[in-house]
Amino acid sequence: MNAVPPCPTSSCQVVVVGGGPIGIETAVACRYAGLDAQVIEAGVIGQTMSWWAPGTRWFSSNERIAIAGVPLLTPDQTKATREQYLTYLRAVVQQFGLDVRCRQRVASVQRDGDGLTVLVQTPAGGRQIRCGQVVLAVGGTDHPRRMGIDGEDLPHVDGYLREVHQYFGRRVLIVGGRNSAIEAALRLYHVGADVTLSYRAPSLPSTSIKYWLRPEIEGLIRAGRITAHYSTVPLRITSSQVELAAVDPESGDIDRASPTIVPADDVLTLIGYEQDKTLFREIGIELVHPGDHPAYDAETMMTSVPGVYVAGTAVAGTQSSRYKVFLENCHEHVDKIVRHITGRSVAVSQDSSIDSIIRAQPES
């Protein structure tokens, strides 16, 4: 019998789980503070942005999503695209020489004497990292929210907008009526798709669509160029159509008796996303409502597990359609964590004047 090789073990002071903007910013702050940090990312740098459709622009202005004190500049001074921001993240990682390990997944974090042991799964097998602290910057939009209806798993049903060119000439039903759904509807209309919206409310929301999107979508709906079925929800999806049921605007009751049939070659369920809580539960972090978000100290960002911190949008768990925690109002988490670990402040995000503006009026 061949002996099982021992699991390779390394060490560092801080393990950052998640290679998104806040995870990268945390690693930079650790470097400024003299802490040896390693970033573990299950996907690629900026994983959440990597599944955005090409050409998607941020809703937030550039100074609000810049990290680590590095300006985010675009050639035409407009809000950054997906591609520009991913390029920016790679540049920040290279500029500071961060130790980022992509396509490696943290399986567990265990107390080990006066420190922690992080078990990491890699394509080559498992490895262990001994460290003093772990920062969970894992985000909150891991999986599209499901509707729980027949046909939801058919191949032409998707919780993400893909490369818009592939929808040319196709009949697309979009489920949802907030920012993601409205931006998708407009982009697909302009690429030559036949677009229909299904939204469970009697009209589009007054506060959840960005001001530069609302006039166009409302104009196209009035002109009949985009069809909107308000006060409806999908009942069933088949390979060629969707059954929409009416929703009573007062009671919320669903009338299943006489559904509206909408032909559809593609169905986009843009109704929000859910956080994967597997790692929180594996570590033993207390989860609290709403959204089953991790319990943490607001002054230090430490969770219910000593030595394990949470940062970024991960603090909010699964957010409702009315998002309140965005990248732009999470920068302060980084300094709180490093200050608690080292006893001194190492702020590497934007200046305080920008912070006060963000708190007063978030854009995302």
Contact between 171 and 196 (Cβ < 8 Å): yes
Which residues have a Cβ under 8 Å from the Cβ of 122 and sit 6 or more positions away? 101, 103, 104
H-assigned helices in 273-351: 278-283, 331-342
Distance, in Å, from the CA atom of 209 to the CA atom of 214, rounded to the nearest integer, reads: 6
Q: What pTM does this model have?
A: 0.90
Distance, in Å, from the CA atom of 19 to the CA atom of 60, rounded to the nearest integer, reads: 20
Distance, in Å, from the CA atom of 281 to the CA atom of 68, rounded to the nearest integer, reads: 30
Distance, in Å, from the CA atom of 18 to the CA atom of 311, rounded to the nearest integer, reads: 10
Provide the CB-side half-sphere exposure for 192 (13 A, CA).
5
Query: Which phi-psi region, left, alpha or beta, contains residue 235 (left: φ > 0; alpha: ψ -120 to 50)?
Result: alpha
Instruction: Tell me the CA distances in angstroms from 195 to 182, 256, 261, 271, 347, one per residue in order.
Output: 11, 24, 14, 16, 46
Q: Which of 345, 326, 343 is nearest to 335 (CA)?
A: 345
Q: For residue 65, what is the enclosing H or E element?
A: helix 62-65
Name the amino acid, one letter, at 46: G
Distance, in Å, from the CA atom of 151 to the CA atom of 129, rounded to the nearest integer, reads: 43
Report strand pairing: 143-144 vs 157-158: unpaired
Distance, in Å, from the CA atom of 219 to the CA atom of 233, rounded to the nearest integer, reads: 23
Distance, in Å, from the CA atom of 82 to the CA atom of 67, rounded to the nearest integer, reads: 15
What tens-digit pLDDT sequence spans the chain (364 residues)?
A: 444 456 889 999 999 999 999 999 999 999 999 999 999 999 999 999 988 999 999 988 999 999 999 999 999 989 999 999 999 999 999 999 999 999 999 999 999 888 999 999 999 999 999 999 999 999 998 899 999 999 999 999 999 999 999 999 999 999 999 999 999 999 999 999 999 999 999 999 987 788 889 999 999 999 999 999 999 999 999 999 999 999 998 898 999 999 999 999 999 999 999 999 999 999 999 999 878 999 999 999 999 999 999 999 999 998 876 678 889 989 999 999 999 999 987 767 655 555 665 556 665 5
Block residue for tokens 């998002």 = 323
